[in-house]
Structure 1
Amino acid sequence: MSTPTTTPTYLFESSWEVCNKVGGIYTVLSTKAFSLKKIFDDKAIFIGPDIWEQEPAVDFIEDNSLFAEWREYALTNEQLKVRIGRWNVPGNPPVILVDFKPFFGDKDSLFFSMWETFRVNSLNAYGDYDESCIFAYAVGKVIESFYTYYKLEKESVVAHFNEWMLGMGALYLQKQIPEIATIFTTHATSIGRSIAGNNKALYAYMDGYNGDQMAYELNMEAKHSLEKQTALHVDCFTTVSDITAVECKKLLDKEPDVITPNGFELNFVPEGDQYSAKRKQARCQLIRIAEKLIGSEMSENAILVSTSGRYEYRNKGLDIFIDAMGHIRTSGELQREIIAFIMVPGHVYDARADLKEILKQDYETKNPLQAPFVTHWLYDMEHDKIISHIRQAGFTNNSSDKIKIIFVPCYLSGSDGIFNTPYYDLLIGMDATVYPSYYEPWGYTPMESIAFGIPTITTNLAGFGLWAKHFVSGNSLSEGVMVLERTDFNYFEVTDSIAEAILELSRKNKSERTEIHKHCFALSREATWSKFILHYQESFHKALVNKDKRIAKSMVSI
């Protein structure tokens, strides 16, 4: 990688997940903010959707003094309604939340302009396409207004857009203010995720797939068209891992200009006595809730195992996790108790009232609750894939079973009604995590796990898994990260390997587990933003250089 020689004065970074905790990109941006602050100070500005109406936005601290004159100008002259403040994460970067709903009236003219100029085909759009594109358009208008008001023509400015949802923002800016350099990052291609999610063999037949054809077949034409044209037209196109770079080249017809792996900030992890206290507290809480749900006492030395992430049943390997735990249950080899947690947000109806009351009154329970493997009631529970698979695998969570499995189908933001504890404050109590992903462009969940000292199982189909193999063999949990070889066709081999690894961990003594924790912490220090931010600096440099070339080319053609 060449050393970057050009750094922008201003950086605007936008995503649907700025101050909106709905997925992994929230973690990417909220942890990266600290490193960007060191480079840009308050000239790295995040832009997100104002979807909160009367409610306070997540982790957003409003500051009416910040860019106050521009805010009034934008509202009065351009009908841009924004809230301005700071993101309540390390670095506390400036944030602009934009109300995009007033711009829905511009939809038809916007989509026509995108087709006419960039050949973005929005004809067969459905679902969240319109809302995402109007938000992206509003982001473009916010940057345009800010740039014009503060007369940034003599400054070097980069605008960074994340995922297909922000594609029209990048294209709008490139058309309206060509002097702004644009970066577009795909964290996972929409068509690649769709191929995998539709139970098609993505990797075995990658060379035979045509992205446009598959988009037509899977009814993904609008999203794919927007993502592809944005990748082709921006000044710098990036993705997060080598495995997704191959996908981009084959399905989007565009090889990424830079690979920008996702880092983590260790300032999210407690240290010393605070770490020990939080780990003990998490374990006590997890075991207590399991006991109340199941109606029997559990050992305080039980092995706690979890998986988490987005509810993508096959892509995230949730099916394999349940089968691996089932394999352990029937193996006859388990000497210690295990509680396996599936922490994956589902279509939650409400926190269980019976479980809430038992926890509140601290009743001693001798019998399991109805459906003793789920902490929150779901809509249409009978057809939920995870619950159906748990039953199919033979789990009953009887007191005689040495392994219990519990589905936590809610966002662990600290206000779910049962745990009322943020995800990280529960993760720290685990003994191992398992993420047997089939489709995982990067993989924040295993990275977060080792950052908190928890050994993890991932696969070679995850960007993080491939990265980890530069530092460990990946053959054993004893190294901190176990990287399983996963293909389109070896489901049962992966299931068996996970079961064997957890059984082996359950046989280790305290000093052996302490050594594993040390390996986790050591490897996590290799994945910090202080090391990975250089890749982003390279993308800033390339965007600015390519922007100059683009402008020079357009001048020649006039």
Structure 2
Amino acid sequence: MEPREQSKEVLFELAWEVCNQVGGIYTVIRSKVPAMVEKWGDDYCLIGPYFPQTAGIEFDAIEDDSIFNKTAKKLQKNGFDVHYGRWLVTGRPRIILLDFSKMMDNVDKLKFDLWENHQISTINAEPLVNSVIAFSHMIEEYLKSFVDDYSKKYSVTAHFHEWMSAIPLINLRKENKDIATVFTTHATMLGRYIAGNVDNFYEHLPSYNWREEAKNYGIEAQAGIEHAAAQKCHVLTTVSDVTAKECEVFFERECDLILPNGLNITRYAATHEFQNLHVKYKQKINQFVMGHFFQSYSWDLDNTLYFFTSGRYEFKNKGYDLTLEALKRLNFKLVKNKVDTNVVMFIITRNPIKSIDPGVLQSRAVMEEIKETCEAIEKQIGEELFYASASNTDHTMPNLNEMVDEYWRLRLRRTIQSWKVNTLPHTVTHLLQGPDDITRFFDESNLKNHEKDRVKFVYHPDFISPTNPLFGMEYGQFVRGCHLGVFPSYYEPWGYTPLECVIRGIPTVTSDLSGFGDFMQQIMEDYESVGVYVVNRKSKSFDEAADQLADQLYQFVIMNRRDRIMQRNRTENFSDIFDWVNLRSYYDTAHDMAKKKRGVKLK
């Protein structure tokens, strides 16, 4: 036997979301890169799928003599379409992107092998499964080649995220390749499906049979891959204690470690500017609100609070049902107690749409016309006022009306006349392809933006971006301009949306069934003082949780401005807890555990 010469370590991190923005795991991996590069340097390499559209933006192909590129070139000579370079994100890590399009011709054989070797059925599986199988085959070929060439000099660890990258893990372990493996599930497939379709998911969790449920929901392939990876990896991890309970049932194995999610806080840091940024972006939201509501009626924007919720359209899992019910009760309490503060609730998600509602665009356009006319009048008055004041001999205030000529008076009068309407403001900004649970709730509860209501609604069924004609700002800027994020999820393995509020100094609502909320309850007792409100959904009924959330929102509304500013300061100050520089240690521990278990072979 040749003596082992290992002196260096390399880490591969593999995921469908590497350089491929399709979900929250992309945020996990991308934001974690700087902290990983800080420890591993160029001995860290990510592997993901090659899609020309995203690679054209985020991928920079390079040529060097690194061991990662040498393996890539070796596979290229064997006919594999492998791309090596740097990921154009903070930290610029090495990255391998695999174009699996040519492998699709071999999918049937690979599916047969999956059944033959692991008894994982792919019958009637969704098209994504075929793509994952082809992608996974290329990962496996790359890692096998790398380990065969370099395992005597390098200790190799591979960290697989989710079922989309996990097939190579179960094959490599079957062949007892010299590689330490970590598997992280960010949300079990069965948990996501079952929680969205049944009541009392967590109460019934211990009684579920994972094979029966996978067959029932038509996800035998995905659940089978997950289960096999969880069984065969050296170290099994997930993102929260909440999801760890699912792993025990659906994977029949306890998690070895919890890996809480973080963010690269320096990307968001605004030093002492975050309060100024809040005011700046609130003004932009004010402009939208004026254009959307003031056509019908107006109110004091200085006494208005902006709440929002966002995320995938999962009406129950994301807590949209609870949020709407609590807001209905909040509206009743505010009207009953004659609180004069208005709340505008923005619901930001993505649902099938035809287009932006022409009426919403028309309202926005007319408001812009009013603004331009007022700016022209302002300029004219300014010039005339300066001349009149300089030449005035009686020290009296000049008559400003006389300084506006007839053209601008008439234009402003006509624009205002065409602007005002007798209809209620739209609750939905777009034309949906059909009614959904949110619009049905508006209809059934008569929450239609009546003037007497204190809670107004803006349902925006598309994500916010700078090219959006209604807001014209980035999502992060929109978050900074709001006062409160509301995310009382029923099924949320982690929950980045409340964390994205916290790091921007914006208070947030979460639930004890979300990984983030559960983590907050573990690390501090007085979490409300730092602007994190946790709705109890573990032990409370839907009705009780709606009452609790309504009370939390009501207390936030009646809080005075000075207290809200102080709370935002505390929120921003404690956000460093979630910096990857601090949370990377959990990943370090997982990798160390895997290396110690690497010599343990499967029976």
- Picking from 342, 355, 366, the partner of 2:347 is 342
Distance, in Å, in 1 between the alignment partners of 2:349 and 2:65 is 38
- Corresponding residue for residue 35 of structure 2: 35
Distance, in Å, in 1 between the alignment partners of 2:464 and 2:441 is 22
| Shift in alpha-carbon separation, 1:29–1:503, aligned structure 2, 3 A | same
Number of residue pairs the alignment of both structures matches: 541
The TM-score, its normalising length taken from structure 2, stands at: 0.83
- Corresponding residue for residue 434 of structure 2: 381
| Shift in alpha-carbon separation, 1:300–1:496, aligned structure 2, 3 A | same
Matches within 5 A, 1:455-494: 455-473=507-525, 477-487=528-538, 490-494=541-545
| Shift in alpha-carbon separation, 1:89–1:392, aligned structure 2, 3 A | farther
| More helix per residue | 2
Task: Please report how far the alpha carbon of residue 175 of structure 1 lies from its aligned counterpart in structure 2 after TM superposition.
Answer: 4.7
Q: Alpha-carbon deviations, 1:437-493, whole Å to 9, x = none? A: 11111121112211111111111111111111134436x744411212114761111
- Corresponding residue for residue 596 of structure 2: 545
Structure 2 counterpart of 1:171, one-letter code: I
Q: Alpha-carbon deviations, 1:359-414, whole Å to 9, x = none? A: 46714443488971223333x232x2222223323221234432211122223344
Distance, in Å, in 2 between the alignment partners of 1:338 and 1:306 is 10
Q: Retained in 2: the 8 A contact 1:137–1:172?
A: no
Task: Please report how far the alpha carbon of residue 351 of structure 1 lies from its aligned counterpart in structure 2 after TM superposition.
Answer: 4.0
- Picking from 429, 446, 456, the partner of 1:404 is 456
- Corresponding residue for residue 236 of structure 1: 235
- Corresponding residue for residue 63 of structure 2: 65
Matches within 5 A, 1:319-468: 319-331=321-333, 332=335, 333=337, 334-352=339-357, 355-356=360-361, 359=364, 362-364=368-370, 365-367=419-421, 372-378=426-432, 380-382=433-435, 384-468=436-520
- Corresponding residue for residue 286 of structure 1: 285
RMSD across aligned C-alpha pairs, in angstroms? Answer: 2.8
Matches within 5 A, 1:97-176: 97-145=97-145, 151-175=150-174
Question: What SS does the aligned partner of 1:165 have?
Answer: helix
Structure 2 counterpart of 1:12, one-letter code: F
Q: Retained in 2: the 8 A contact 1:202–1:488?
A: no
Distance, in Å, in 1 between the alignment partners of 2:154 and 2:522 is 39
Q: Retained in 1: the 8 A contact 2:317–2:491?
A: yes
Task: Please report how far the alpha carbon of residue 33 of structure 1 lies from its aligned counterpart in structure 2 after TM superposition.
Answer: 0.8
Task: Please report how far the alpha carbon of residue 254 of structure 1 lies from its aligned counterpart in structure 2 after TM superposition.
Answer: 1.3
Distance, in Å, in 2 between the alignment partners of 1:165 and 1:425 is 32
Task: Please report how far the alpha carbon of residue 233 of structure 1 lies from its aligned counterpart in structure 2 after TM superposition.
Answer: 1.0
Q: Alpha-carbon deviations, 1:480-538, whole Å to 9, x = none? A: 11212114761111112212211211111222112211332243222222222111111
Q: Retained in 2: the 8 A contact 1:7–1:541?
A: no
Question: What SS does the aligned partner of 2:346 have?
Answer: strand
Task: Please report how far the alpha carbon of residue 301 of structure 1 lies from its aligned counterpart in structure 2 after TM superposition.
Answer: 4.0
- Corresponding residue for residue 408 of structure 2: none
Q: Retained in 2: the 8 A contact 1:80–1:142?
A: no
Moved more, 482-491 or 156-165: 482-491
Task: Please report how far the alpha carbon of residue 416 of structure 1 lies from its aligned counterpart in structure 2 after TM superposition.
Answer: 4.0
The TM-score, its normalising length taken from structure 1, stands at: 0.89
Distance, in Å, in 1 between the alignment partners of 2:74 and 2:80 is 5
Distance, in Å, in 2 between the alignment partners of 1:42 and 1:415 is 36
Q: Retained in 2: the 8 A contact 1:472–1:481?
A: no
Q: In the alignment, does 2:550 pair up with 1:499? A: yes
Question: What SS does the aligned partner of 1:470 have?
Answer: helix
- Identity, in percent, stands at 29
Task: Please report how far the alpha carbon of residue 93 of structure 1 lies from its aligned counterpart in structure 2 after TM superposition.
Answer: 1.9
Distance, in Å, in 2 between the alignment partners of 1:43 and 1:75 is 20
Structure 2 counterpart of 1:535, one-letter code: Y
Structure 2 counterpart of 1:227, one-letter code: E
Distance, in Å, in 2 between the alignment partners of 1:386 and 1:254 is 38
Matches within 5 A, 1:525-544: 525-544=576-595
Task: Please report how far the alpha carbon of residue 157 of structure 1 lies from its aligned counterpart in structure 2 after TM superposition.
Answer: 1.3
Q: In the alignment, does 2:89 pair up with 1:89? A: yes
Structure 2 counterpart of 1:63, one-letter code: A
Q: Retained in 2: the 8 A contact 1:293–1:372?
A: yes
Q: Retained in 1: the 8 A contact 2:274–2:505?
A: no
Task: Please report how far the alpha carbon of residue 282 of structure 1 lies from its aligned counterpart in structure 2 after TM superposition.
Answer: 2.0
Distance, in Å, in 2 between the alignment partners of 1:293 and 1:20 is 35
- Corresponding residue for residue 316 of structure 2: 314
Structure 2 counterpart of 1:433, one-letter code: G
Q: Retained in 1: the 8 A contact 2:510–2:535?
A: yes
| Shift in alpha-carbon separation, 1:442–1:337, aligned structure 2, 3 A | same
Distance, in Å, in 2 between the alignment partners of 1:26 and 1:95 is 14
Runs (5+) with no aligned partner, structure 1 = 1-5
Task: Please report how far the alpha carbon of residue 89 of structure 1 lies from its aligned counterpart in structure 2 after TM superposition.
Answer: 3.1
Structure 2 counterpart of 1:381, one-letter code: G
Matches within 5 A, 1:47-58: 47-51=47-51, 53=52, 55-57=53-55
- Corresponding residue for residue 3 of structure 1: none
- Picking from 557, 567, 571, the partner of 1:520 is 571
